[in-house]
Amino acid sequence: MRVLVIGGGGREHALAWKLASDARVEKVFAAPGSAGISQVAECVAVGGGDIAGLANLVSEIGIDLTVVGPEAPLADGIVDVFRDRGLRIFGPDKRGAELEASKAFTKEILVEAGVPTAAYGKFRELEPAKKFARELGLPVVVKADGLAAGKGVVICQTYEEADGALTSMLTAGAFGEAGATVVVEEFLEGEEASFIALTDGKGVISLAPSQDHKQVFDGDHGPNTGGMGAYSPAPIVDAAMADEVVATVIQPTVDALRGRGIDYRGVLYAGLMIKDGRPKVLEYNCRFGDPECQPLMLRLDSSLVDLIEACIDGNAQSTRAIWADDAAVCVVMASGGYPAAYEKGHVITGIDDAAALEGVEVFHAGTSRDDGGNWVNIGGRVLGVTARADSIADATQLAYTAVDKIAWKDVHVRRDIARKAISPNAT
**Alpha helices, H only, 102-144:** 103-113, 126-136
Is residue 50 pLDDT above 90, yes or no? Answer: yes
Is residue 416 pLDDT above 80, yes or no? Answer: yes
Please give the sequence-ordered ranges of beta strands (E in DSSP) within 139-225, or none if there are none: 140-144, 153-156, 182-186, 191-199, 204-206, 211-212, 215-217, 221-224
> What's the average model confidence in pLDDT over 13-31?
98
> What's the average model confidence in pLDDT over 384-409?
98
> pLDDT at position 324, please?
97
Task: Convert the pLDDT of each residue in 131-144 to its tens digit.
Answer: 999 999 999 999 99
Residues sharing a CB contact under 8 Å with residue 170, sequence separation 6 or more, in sequence order: 123, 124, 125, 126, 129, 179, 180, 182
> What's the average model confidence in pLDDT over 271-291?
95
Q: How far apart are the C-alpha atoms of 300 and 296, rounded to whole Å?
A: 6
The H or E element that residue 332 is part of is: strand 327-334
Confidence of residue 223 (pLDDT cuts 50, 70, 90): confident
Residues sharing a CB contact under 8 Å with residue 305, sequence separation 6 or more, in sequence order: 1, 3, 19, 22, 24, 25, 65
Please give the sequence-ordered ranges of beta strands (E in DSSP) within 149-207, or none if there are none: 153-156, 182-186, 191-199, 204-206
> pLDDT at position 195, please?
98
Task: Convert the pLDDT of each residue in 316-369 to its tens digit.
Answer: 999 999 999 999 999 999 999 999 999 999 999 999 999 999 999 999 999 999
Contact 291, 334 (CB under 8 A): no
> pLDDT at position 123, please?
97
> What's the average model confidence in pLDDT over 237-244?
96
> pLDDT at position 76, please?
96
- 2-7 vs 27-32, strand pairing mode: parallel
> pLDDT at position 75, please?
95
Q: How far apart are the C-alpha atoms of 380 and 366, rounded to whole Å?
A: 7
Strand partners, 364: 383
Q: How far apart are the C-alpha atoms of 150 and 71, rounded to whole Å?
A: 11
> pLDDT at position 426, please?
58
Q: How far apart are the C-alpha atoms of 272 and 230, rounded to whole Å?
A: 14
> What's the average model confidence in pLDDT over 121-136?
97
Is residue 395 pLDDT above 90, yes or no? Answer: yes
Is residue 105 pLDDT above 90, yes or no? Answer: yes
> pLDDT at position 150, please?
66
> What's the average model confidence in pLDDT over 287-303?
97
Go through the domains of the chain in sequence order and give each one's CATH number. 2-91 (3.40.50.20), 119-186 (3.30.1490.20), 191-318 (3.30.470.20), 327-422 (3.90.600.10)
> pLDDT at position 423, please?
83
**Alpha helices, H only, 276-424:** 293-299, 304-312, 351-355, 392-403, 419-422
> pLDDT at position 140, please?
97
Confidence of residue 148 (pLDDT cuts 50, 70, 90): confident
Contact 54, 80 (CB under 8 A): no
Q: CA torsion, points 182, 155, 343, 10, in degrees to nearest 10?
A: -80
3-class SS at 356?
coil
Is residue 425 pLDDT above 90, yes or no? Answer: no
Q: What is the DSSP letter of 196?
A: E
Contact 36, 354 (CB under 8 A): no
> What's the average model confidence in pLDDT over 242-267?
97
> What's the average model confidence in pLDDT over 71-85?
97
Contact 378, 409 (CB under 8 A): no
Is residue 234 pLDDT above 60, yes or no? Answer: yes
